[in-house]
Structure 1
Amino acid sequence: MSEHAPLVGITMGDPGGIGPEVIAKAYPAVRDAARPVVVGDADVLAAAIDVCGLSLSVERVDDPAGARFDPDSVPVLDLDNVDELVRGEVREEYGAASLAYVERAIELARDGGIDAIVTAPINKQATKLAGSEYAGHTGMLADYTDTDSYSMMLVEDDLRVTHVSTHVPLREACDLVTEDAVLETIRLTDAALRDLGVDSPSVGVAGLNPHASDGGLLGDEDGAEIEPAVERARGEGIDATGPESPDTVYVRAARGEFDCVVSMYHDQGHIPIKMLGFAGGDAVSGVNVTIGLPIVRTSVDHGTAFDIAGEGVASERSMVDAVEVAVEMTGAGP
C-alpha cells in the first residue's frame, strides 16, 4: 500500500445488515489501491470479521490520516453507536447509527480529511424510524454538501447508466422528464465520465416512451422534451445521441457504442444494470456513484440483505468495485 494512495472512508451501513461483512471481506482486496478507513462501530466490524472467519483485527483510530494501515488490521473510526448487535432486524437505533456514519464521513470529505466516501447499504425503514426524511444516501449527500444539481450513475462492467429521476412514483417520474432536467443530466453524465478517465465521452439518451415515441405515435414527450435537450447538449460540444429506443439503447451501450446511457426514470436504468450484476448468482456486483457532488462518493449496488446477515456468505464483489471506482474518480486510478 502506497502512502500516497487515496484515503477512503467506508461507512459501515446498517449494523444489522451485511455491510460490516462485505467490508471485512473486501479489505484484503482493496488495501493495495487505497487506504481504507471504516467509519462505524469497531465491535460490530470485529463481529463481522469473526463470522467471516478472517485473519484480521480491528484498530480503533481517532483520525483517518493517523491510521497505520497494517495489512492484518482494519482501521476503524469508532463512533461506538451500537450497544447490542442483533442481525437481520429493522431497528431505530441502527438507522440512527447508519446515518451518523454517513454524516461523519461527509464532514471528513468536506474538510479534506478523506479523499472519497464509499457507503455500505443502509435500511430505509430503519432510517425513517430514526427520523430521517431521506429516501436514501443521495439526497442526504446533496443537502449536506449544498448541491442542487446531482444524479445517480450505476456502473456494471462495460455498462454505465445515469438517471433523470430515481426514487419517485412512476407517474411523477414522467412529469419530471423536462428539457432542462434531461439537459442537466446529460451535462452531469459527460463530466462524470471525464472524471472516470473517458477522454471523449459518448452519451446515449434513452427515450421515455416505447420506441422513443415512434415519431409521435406513442406520445409527444420524446420530441417535446428529450430531443431539444439532446440538441442543446450537442451545441455545447457534448457527444449526445437520442432519444433512442429504450429497448435497445442499453444493449448498444454494453457493446461499446455509448459510454453511458441517460435513463429517464429509476427502473429504466436499474433493470439492465441489475440483470448484469445479479445474474452471476451470489457474486453480486455493480457500483452506485453520486455525480455532481463536490466530493467523491460511490456505493455498493445492493441492500442490507437481512436474510443472510451474520452468515458470512455475502459477496464482497460490489464493495471491491465501489472502492476501485472511488479511487479512479480521485484521479489516482489506472
Structure 2
Amino acid sequence: MSESAPVVGITMGDPAGIGPEVIVKAYPELRQSSRPIVIGDASVIADAIEIVESSLGVESVDAVDAATFSAEAIPVLDADNVDVLVRGEVREEYGAASLEYVEKAIELAKAGDIDAITTAPINKQATKLAGSTYAGHTGMLADYTDTENYAMMLVEDELRVTHVSTHVSLHEACDLVTTENVLDTIHLTAGALRDLGIDSPSIGVAGLNPHASDGGLLGDEDAAEIEPAVEQAREDGIDATGPESPDTVYVRAASGEFDCVVSMYHDQGHIPIKMLGFAGGSAVSGVNVTIGLPIIRTSVDHGTAFDIAGEGIASEQSLLDAVAVAVEMTDTDRAEPSR
C-alpha cells in the first residue's frame, strides 16, 4: 500500500447483514491499491472478524487522519451505535445506524477527508422503520450533495449499463422516457465513462418497446422520445447509437461494440447484468456506481442477505470490484504495494 493511495470510506451497511463479513474478508486485498477505512461500528467489525476466523484486529479511530491503515488491523471510524447485534433481523435501530454511516461518509467526502465512498448493503425495510423516505442510497446521496441530474451505472465484467429510471413502477418508468431524461442520462453516461478512463466512449441506447418499436409497428415512444435524444447527443459530440432493439443491444455491448448501454428502466438494465454475473456461479453480481454526483460513490450490487448473515460464507468479490472502480475514478496517484 502506498501513502498516496486513495482513501476509500467503506460504509458498513446494515449491522445485521453480510456487509461486515465481506469487509473483513476483502480488507487484505483492498489495501493493496487503496487506504480503506470502515465507517461503522467497531464492535460489529470485531464480531465479523471472529465469524470469518480472520487474524485481523480492529483499529478504532475518531478521525480519518488518525488511521494507520496497517496490514494487521482494520481501521474503523467508530460510530458506536449498535448496542445489541442479532444477525438477520430487520430492526429500526439497525436502519438508523446504517443511515448514520452513509451521512458521515458523505460529510467526509464533501470535506475531502476521503477520496471516494463504497457502500455495503443497507436494508430498505429497516431504514424505512427508522424514518427514511429514500428507496436506497442513491436518492439520499443526491439530496445530501444537492445533485439534480444523476443516474445508476452497473458494471459487470465487460458490460456496463445506466438507467433512465430505477426504483419506480413500470407504468411510471414508461412515463419517464422523455427526450430530456434520455439525453441527460446519455450525457451522464459519457462523463462517467471518461472518468473510468475511456476517452471516446461509444454508447448504445436501448429502445423502450420490443425491437425499438419496429418502425412504428409496436408504438411511437422510440421515435418520439428516444431518437431525438440520440440525435442531440450526437450533435453534442457523443458517439451514441439508437434506439437499438433491447433484446440484442446488451449482447452487442458485452461483445465490445459499445462501452455502455443506456437502459430505459430498472429491469431492462439489471437483468442482463445479473444474468452475466450469476452465470459465473457467483452469489453476488456487479458494481453499482452513482454517476453525476460531485463525489465518487460505488457500491456492491447485492443485498444484505440476511439468510446467510453470520455464517461467514458471503463472497467479498463485489466489494473488491466496487472499491477497484472507485479507485479507478479517483485522480489520486497510485503506487505498487510497499508492504
Q: TM-score range by the shorter chain?
A: over 0.9
How far is the alpha carbon of 1:65 from its aligned partner? Answer: 2.1
Q: Which residue of the partner structure matches residue 41 of structure 2?
A: 41
Q: Which residue of the partner structure matches residue 117 of structure 1?
A: 117
List aligned pairs for 1:1-334, cutoff 5 A.
1-332=1-332
1:113 and 1:43 map into 2 onto residues whose CA distance is: 23
How far is the alpha carbon of 1:277 from its aligned partner? Answer: 1.3
How far is the alpha carbon of 1:319 from its aligned partner? Answer: 0.2
How far is the alpha carbon of 1:242 from its aligned partner? Answer: 0.1
5+ residue gaps, structure 1: none
Task: Provide Cα deviations, 1:220-257, integer angstroms capped at 9, x if missing partner.
Answer: 00000000000000000000000000000000000000
How far is the alpha carbon of 1:88 from its aligned partner? Answer: 0.3
How far is the alpha carbon of 1:331 from its aligned partner? Answer: 2.9
Report the secondary structure of 2:298's partner residue: strand
The answer to whether the Cα contact below 8 Å between 1:13 and 1:19 also exists between their aligned partners in 2 is: yes
Report the secondary structure of 1:26's partner residue: helix
The answer to whether the Cα contact below 8 Å between 1:327 and 1:333 also exists between their aligned partners in 2 is: no
How far is the alpha carbon of 1:168 from its aligned partner? Answer: 0.1
Matching residue's letter, 1:3: E
1:145 and 1:295 map into 2 onto residues whose CA distance is: 8
Task: Provide Cα deviations, 1:253-290, integer angstroms capped at 9, x if missing partner.
Answer: 00000000000000000000011112223452310000
The answer to whether the Cα contact below 8 Å between 2:273 and 2:285 also exists between their aligned partners in 1 is: no
Number of residue pairs matched? 334
1:70 and 1:309 map into 2 onto residues whose CA distance is: 27
TM-score in terms of structure 1 length: 0.99
TM-score in terms of structure 2 length: 0.97
Report the secondary structure of 2:97's partner residue: helix
1:233 and 1:4 map into 2 onto residues whose CA distance is: 37
The answer to whether the Cα contact below 8 Å between 2:5 and 2:333 also exists between their aligned partners in 1 is: no
Q: Which residue of the partner structure matches residue 337 of structure 2?
A: none
The answer to whether the Cα contact below 8 Å between 1:250 and 1:261 also exists between their aligned partners in 2 is: yes
2:324 and 2:309 map into 1 onto residues whose CA distance is: 24
The answer to whether the Cα contact below 8 Å between 2:163 and 2:266 also exists between their aligned partners in 1 is: yes
Q: Cα gap change, 1:300/1:222 in structure 2, threshold over 3 Å: closer, same or farther? A: same
5+ residue gaps, structure 2: 335-339
Matching residue's letter, 1:191: G
How far is the alpha carbon of 1:66 from its aligned partner? Answer: 2.2
Q: Cα gap change, 1:89/1:74 in structure 2, threshold over 3 Å: closer, same or farther? A: same
Matching residue's letter, 2:215: G
Task: Provide Cα deviations, 1:190-235, integer angstroms capped at 9, x if missing partner.
Answer: 0000000001100000000000000000000000000000000000
1:29 and 1:278 map into 2 onto residues whose CA distance is: 23
2:220 and 2:116 map into 1 onto residues whose CA distance is: 41
The answer to whether the Cα contact below 8 Å between 1:283 and 1:316 also exists between their aligned partners in 2 is: no
2:80 and 2:143 map into 1 onto residues whose CA distance is: 25
Matching residue's letter, 2:36: P
